[in-house]
Amino acid sequence: MTKTNGNGTPETFKEISIRDLIAPTFRRKRAVLLTFVGVFVLAVVGFALMGYMYTSHMEILVNRERQDPMVTTEATTQMITNSTPVTEDEINSEAELLLSRDVLEQVVLENGLFVPHGFSLSDFLEPNQSKEERVARAVKRLAKKIKVKPVPKTELIDVQYSSSNPQLAHAVLKSLADAYMVKHVSAHRPSGSFEFFEKQTQQYHDELEAAEAKLRDFGKEFGVAAPDLERTNLAQQVALSTGILHAAQQAASADEERIRNDRQQMSSTPDRSATARASAAADLLLENLNATLLAAQAKRAALAIKYDPSYPLVQEADQEISQAKAAITEAEKTRYVTETTDRDPTYELIREDISKAQSDHAAQLATAAATERSISSIQAQMVDLDKKALTQADLQRDARADETSYLLYLSKREQERTSDALDMKRIANVAIAIPPAIPVLPVISWPMLIVVALGGSLVLSIGMAYGLEYFDSSFHTPAQVVDMLGIPVVVAVPKKTA
């Protein structure tokens, strides 16, 4: 292999051999030895001071087996759907919840991790720290020591925590699991939902009782239980009464026409008719007149004896005789007819029919007037019942609305009660698949530590040799002089160590 130097002459490089690679370790064997021993001793002493480290493991399964109902004031129907795979984002979100500040703070407080144990640089530099500061520093240390890692191609989250005390490692992960479950529930379900639905349920229960009390008071106050039913019955009565009214009006019109017709017939019908007739002479009158004539003649005869015919009394007697004779002559010409009459039956029938028709007409008019008043009264009652029905409908609508709301919030309250019960039983969409256990074996045993310390010491010591070789600018072999300066080496005298 050739390379041109600064004077333009080609330089020749040898192939790097294994000897060239390990030569620095031999040249720096003291540094290598000191580094190897120092690192090994420090590793052993450090492990001895720290003691055994125990790691507790826990795995959390993220699934979708539980479906909480939607927290809404509307009626919802729980739909049973096929479970969809858990996404990586959901697993990462649960991993972040594990390391949330409030969860770690609760773990620190439960396990007393903020209490100083042994020497601490921060406690030495700031001896008068408050409890809040100690807790905050402990939370930061715990966040660094807890290892949370999603297991690839699974729905598991692996959680590890290492401590020199196996009971403490187990206790920390157990506290973390408990606090995380509470955090998961509170993060995925809104807080106070059960109290909200409980309050709303009680409110609508009270409103429902008030609405029902108003309905009961409505019946007592207005004396009606079913205004709609009564209004329907009254409407039927109005229809019947209207038919009766029309019938009475028609009958009254018929009676008027009947009375008019009867009166026309009565005007042409005699009220009486002869039933028997007999004729006879005036015998009794003749007898009386003859007696009067005889008496007048006897009187004249008596006067004629005493007086002269020209005497006024005699003349008066003559005049009476003449009158009696004229009356007898007239009476002989006169005949008496005896006729018996009675009421005409046709006339009486017409009169009776008129009287009956008038009575019927008055009765029909009275019936029509009473029916009209009854219809008006029923219609007024129907109007009043209609108002009462509207009032009752409003009360019933309010009662139904309150009942619907009460049943809705009652169902919602029971759903939230069920969800809270599931939360209390730790039934959630995450589960502790592998709970933490008290570790028995340490993470690193003494044989493993010695192997690791030897390997680390060897690597560091070799690295120290090459580092010193890199920063050393002196020549160590004649070949380096020839390669770097391009001049031949006549004599090489090795360095003698005392």
Tell me the per-residue pLDDT of 83-102, one tens digit each, with 9 for 90 and over. Answer: 567 788 888 888 888 888 88
Q: Are 86 and 62 in contact (CB under 8 A)?
A: yes
Q: Please give the pLDDT value at position 284.
A: 73
Kindly state the helix (H) or strand (E) to which residue 338 belongs, with its residue range.
strand 335-343
User: Residue 36: how many CB atoms within 10 A of its CB?
Assistant: 20
For 102, 179, 475, the CA distances from 19, given in Å and listed in that order, are 60, 61, 17
Q: Please give the pLDDT value at position 9.
A: 46
Q: Please give the pLDDT value at position 306.
A: 78
Can you tell me the distance from the alpha carbon of 199 to that of 218, in angstroms, rounded to the nearest whole number?
29
Q: Please give the pLDDT value at position 454.
A: 77
Split the chain (498 residues) into runs of 10 and give each run's mean pLDDT.
46 56 68 77 68 79 61 52 69 83 87 68 63 84 87 86 84 86 70 70 83 79 74 85 88 88 82 65 72 82 78 81 82 67 78 86 89 88 82 82 82 67 52 79 64 75 72 64 67 58
Smallest Cα–Cα separation from 480: which of 493, 471, 489, 470?
489
Helix/strand/coil percentages in the chain, nearest 5: 65, 10, 25
pLDDT tens-digit readout, 178-194: 888 878 777 666 555 66
Q: What is the mean pLDDT of the chain?
A: 75
Percent of the chain, pLDDT > 90?
Answer: 0
Q: Please give the pLDDT value at position 348.
A: 80
Question: Where are the domains positioned within the chain?
Answer: 18-52+444-498, 272-343
Q: Please give the pLDDT value at position 498.
A: 46
